[in-house]
Amino acid sequence: MNRRTEEDVVLGDNIVLKKGTYCGYNGYTTNRDTEAWGPDSHEFRPSRWGNNAEEIQMLFRKSSSKSTFISFHGGRRTCLGIKFAMMGARVSISKLLTTVRWELDPTWPRRMTPVSLMMATGSVMKYALTLSRLGR
């Protein structure tokens, strides 16, 4: 979301934004700020959010209020659709887990490696998706 300055503005002591300059922020990099999220901020590591629903909600609120996780913004400018988006994510995951049959690729030699470890180390795992409904 960019804005345009209506007059000359000085940021800090020496950064001048001339009138009419478009400025904004980069949400992708804000959500991956190593000062807020640690040196592995670019890695997919869901465990950083906690181990249960209560921890996850608390960390989400805390991160949103500090503007370190800005996907839905925060405070008075919180996205009006945040609850709808989160519900949609829950429904989608629920549907995937209950209607898709997930199988490990039988040719993959390291079947016992936890998915979280594979994500953290960048290992590759092949999944064979069977689109048939469970129980058929």
Q: Locate tokens 């690729």: which residue?
A: 105
Residue 108 has pLDDT above 60, yes or no: yes
Q: The whole model's pTM is what?
A: 0.47
Interatomic CA distance for residues 2 and 5, integer angstroms? 10
pLDDT tens digits along 28-75 = 787 888 888 889 988 888 888 888 888 888 988 888 777 777 777 766
